[in-house]
């Protein structure tokens, strides 16, 4: 069975369990992830994007001689898990703040004293549309039919 795995790994260009990608492919992957998460951090300002970026970039360490031992790989695994948990906590905070901001914007739309109801609804719909349009990556996979 191990011969089959070796043949498959060689055919797919895989190296070993800790570094399944070649160094060039892994470096390209980390670079693309860094760019994407930096753009997301710039656009939305949430720190969890930078933490995830660091976790992705740390996956490159097994390609170097810095983490060639099993204990270094285990330590890297622990650091990765801690980073992902930290990113999740920051994500929850950011999500809560975003919901509070949307709720405040909705209440501001409802508090217009002289405006009639149709105009208030139109402004609220416009704010919701603008918020949704800002999330074009997340909305790319949503069906409009629902």
Residues 86, 136, 121: CA angle, nearest 5 degrees: 105
Hey, CA dihedral for 80, 82, 83, 88, is it positive or negative?
Answer: positive
pLDDT per residue of the chain (146 residues) written in tens, 0 to 9? 556 555 555 555 555 666 777 888 888 999 999 999 999 999 888 899 999 999 999 988 888 777 777 888 889 999 999 999 999 999 999 889 888 888 888 787 655 555 567 777 778 877 777 776 666 666 655 655 54
pTM above 0.85, yes or no: no
Number of helices (H), then strands (E), in the chain: 6, 0
* DSSP letter string, 95-124: HHHHHHHHHHHHHHHHT-SSS-HHHHHHHH
Report CA 23 to chain centroid distance, whole Å: 23
Pick the closest to residue 109 from 99, 101, 119 (CA basis).
119
What's the rounded Cα separation, in Å, for the pair 141 and 144? Answer: 10
């Amino acid at each position: 069975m191990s011969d089959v795995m070796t043949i498959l790994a060689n055919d797919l260009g895989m190296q070993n369990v800790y570094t399944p990608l070649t160094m060039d492919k892994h470096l390209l992957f980390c670079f693309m992830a860094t760019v994407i998460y930096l753009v997301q951090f710039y656009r939305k300002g949430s720190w969890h994007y930078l933490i995830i970026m660091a976790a992705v970039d740390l996956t490159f360490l097994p390609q170097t001689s810095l983490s060639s031992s099993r204990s270094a790989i285990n330590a890297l695994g622990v650091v990765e898990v801690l980073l992902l948990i930290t990113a999740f906590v920051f994500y929850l905070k950011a999500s809560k703040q975003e919901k509070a901001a949307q709720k405040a914007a909705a209440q501001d739309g409802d508090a217009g004293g002289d405006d009639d109801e149709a105009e208030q609804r139109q402004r609220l719909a416009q704010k919701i549309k603008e918020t949704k349009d800002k999330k074009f990556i997340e909305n790319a996979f949503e069906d409009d039919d629902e």
